[in-house]
Each structure stands twice: as C-alpha cells, then as structure tokens.
C-alpha cells in the first residue's frame, strides 16, 4: 500500500523515483536521517524518536500492533509428556507399570500352583497372566477365569476389579487434566499471553521496542516471510508486528495455518519519512490530505484489506 500511495502522490507533484531496498526499518530510518535516502516509503510508524531525527509527512494510515500465531496452537505428544512429568503423573505411571509386572508374576505363580489347566510353559503362562492383568487395568473387566476358592475367590476378584477401575480412572483423569491445562496455557489470544514465550520481531521496529519494554523474549527476523516460516516451524511461539502487515500476510497466505489474534494494542500511525528540512515534506502532506478527503486513500486501503 505504501508503494501505491507514494507513486500516486509522487506522480501528482511530478517526482521521479528510484527504489533502494534496506534490510529493516531501522536501517531505512538511518539512511533517511543521513540523507542517503530522500524518502522512506514503507509502513513507517510515527514516533517521537523518529520525529526528532527525520521529517514526517501527514499520517496516511491508522495502525497498531497485533500478534500472529499458529492456528492449531495445540499441544503435541512431547508437550503432553512434559506436562505429565511436571505434574508428577509420569512417576506414578512408572509405579503402576511396576505393579502390573509384579502382579503378572504373582498371578502366574498362583495359577501354576492352583489351576491344573494353566499353561505349563513359563512363556505361555506369563502371556496369559499379563493379558488378564492388563484387561483389568485398562478396561476394569477381567477375562473369564476359574473360581478356585468359592465365595472368597469371588470377593477377591471383585476387589481386583475395583483396583483396575481405579487405575483406569486415574490414568484417564490425569491425561485429561494435563491436556486441558496445556490447551489453555498454549493459547495466545492477546499480549498478556506473551510473557514466557519466544516472540519474533523485526529489528529497529516499534514492535521490537514494545517487546523490549514489556520484557518479552524476542528473536529478530528481517522480513515477515522469515518470521512466518519460523512460526510455522515452531521456532517461535508468536510474531509481534504491525497489524496491517500481519493482516495482509495472512490474507495473501491463507494456506499457511497462521492467524492474527487479539485486538490492536499500542495504536499508532504511518507516515512517510524524509531528511530534516526536506522541501518535499509539505507538498507530500498536502497531497496525502487531499487523497484522504477525496476518498482515494480509502480506495487504496480497500484493495489490500477489504472494506473493513
């Protein structure tokens, strides 16, 4: 949008231009301040620091900051294992596994002594006992077995089923609770969810300044494409940037599984930057105001962001 607006205003005041690309906004501002660039044509946020270094035209866009995240935002198997370990459930699972092994051995010894039809080979007997123990532990139901001790045996089998149901309920509830906690903690819906996350920002940008002041853990990326790739790959948890830039990226790349979340915060405005004392500042500002009054500026915006 900035390029389209510049070419329209430059054409109206009769300015020929040649584009030079800079790595990031910080370098572009430095080049403008030193006179190496005659005008900074980009989504240049108006700030006091920049106004002290360069001239700024009349603002041509109301913007602010937003957050780019992965649409799934879900927890993977690794996150689930970490959550179970941190909550102490994984250690309990190990204990349950040891109990299952011990129970398998004891059931095998018991049946070999009292059940004459029980397999004589240890391999076959262990397999039968393991199946019986796991049936109780995972479903709360025991396979068909002989009742060798009458009513006492039935009571024992009932108690064994209660233990199996308890184990099944514990495993189910612990996994469910950890997954619920992960789904809540992994969600990023606003800037309040960013502390403790790795956030991608552009060096020299307002986003980087905001993230630094908020004490966020940041990782620099020169371009939005690089930041989006890192986000999609899981190298960062979110990307903090100018709302129009992030919204336009998701609009043009709908298949990447990325989305912009949360309301706009830290509202700001875009303008063109020029070296201090530039004779172009006033005529450009007049043209921008004229485009705003005529509705042409709104038309340019609609081409990129729709009629929102």
Is the pLDDT reported for residue 216 higher than 80? yes
Residue 296 tokens, joined? 């042409």
> In the prediction, which pLDDT does 76 show?
58
Residue 263 backbone dihedrals phi, psi, to 5 degrees: -75, 165
Calculate the alpha carbon distances from 21 to 6, 262, 271 in Å: 15, 31, 18
pLDDT digits (tens, 9 = 90+) for 15-45: 899 999 998 888 999 999 999 999 999 989 8
Q: In this predicted structure, which of 33-42, 101-110, 285-294 has the lowest mean pLDDT?
A: 101-110
Q: Which residue has the higher pLDDT, 126 or 141?
A: 126
> In the prediction, which pLDDT does 230 show?
93
Contacts of 55 (CB under 8 A, 6+ apart): 273, 274, 275, 276, 277, 278, 281
> In the prediction, which pLDDT does 62 show?
86
| Distance, CA of 306 to CA of 308 (rounded, Å) | 6
As a whole number, the mean pLDDT across the chain is 84
> In the prediction, which pLDDT does 30 show?
94
> In the prediction, which pLDDT does 82 show?
74
- In angstroms, the first-to-last Cα distance of the chain is 15
Is the pLDDT reported for residue 81 higher than 70? yes
> In the prediction, which pLDDT does 104 show?
87
Instruction: Please report which confidence band the pLDDT of residue 85 belongs to, taking 50, 70 and 90 as the band edges.
Output: confident
Is the pLDDT reported for residue 51 higher than 90? yes
Is the pLDDT reported for residue 144 higher than 80? no
Is the pLDDT reported for residue 1 higher than 90? no
Is residue 202 within 8 Å of residue 218, measured between CB atoms? no
Residue 148 tokens, joined? 């060798």
Residue 283 tokens, joined? 């005529």
Is the pLDDT reported for residue 154 higher than 70? no
pLDDT digits (tens, 9 = 90+) for 180-214: 666 555 578 888 889 989 999 998 888 999 999 99
Instruction: Please report which confidence band the pLDDT of residue 161 belongs to, taking 50, 70 and 90 as the band edges.
Output: confident
Choose from 60-64, 129-133, 304-308 the range with maximum mean pLDDT.
60-64
Q: What is the mean pLDDT of residues 242-256?
A: 88
> In the prediction, which pLDDT does 146 show?
59
| Distance, CA of 59 to CA of 99 (rounded, Å) | 71
Choose from 7-16, 167-176, 299-308 the range with maximum mean pLDDT.
7-16
């Amino acid at each position: 949008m900035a390029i389209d607006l510049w070419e329209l205003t430059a054409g109206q005041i009769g300015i020929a231009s040649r584009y030079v690309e800079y790595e990031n906004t910080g370098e572009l501002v430095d080049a403008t301040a030193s006179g190496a660039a005659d005008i900074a044509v980009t989504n240049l946020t108006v700030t006091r620091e920049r106004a002290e270094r360069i001239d700024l035209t009349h603002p041509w866009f109301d913007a602010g900051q937003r957050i780019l995240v992965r649409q799934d935002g879900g927890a993977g198997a690794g996150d689930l294992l970490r959550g179970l370990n941190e909550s102490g459930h994984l250690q309990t699972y190990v204990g349950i596994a040891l109990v299952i092994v011990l129970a398998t051995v004891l059931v095998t010894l018991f049946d070999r002594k009292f059940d004459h039809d029980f397999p004589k080979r240890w391999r076959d007997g262990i397999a039968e006992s393991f199946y019986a123990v796991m049936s109780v532990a995972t479903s709360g139901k025991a396979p068909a077995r002989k009742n060798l001790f009458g009513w006492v045996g039935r009571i024992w089998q009932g108690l064994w089923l209660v233990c199996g149901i308890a184990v099944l309920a514990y495993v189910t509830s612990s996994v469910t609770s950890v997954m619920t906690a992960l789904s809540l903690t992994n969600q990023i819906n606003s800037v309040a969810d960013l502390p403790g996350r790795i956030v991608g920002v552009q060096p020299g940008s307002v986003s980087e300044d905001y993230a630094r002041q908020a004490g966020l853990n940041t990782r620099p990326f020169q371009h939005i494409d690089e930041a989006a790739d890192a986000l999609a790959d899981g190298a960062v948890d979110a990307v903090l940037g100018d709302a129009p830039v992030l919204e336009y990226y998701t609009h043009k790349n709908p298949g990447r599984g990325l989305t912009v979340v949360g309301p706009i915060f830290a509202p700001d405005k875009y303008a063109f930057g020029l070296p201090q004392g530039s004779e172009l500042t006033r005529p450009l500002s007049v043209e921008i105001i004229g485009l705003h009054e005529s509705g042409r500026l709104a038309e340019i915006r609609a081409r990129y962001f729709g009629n929102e």
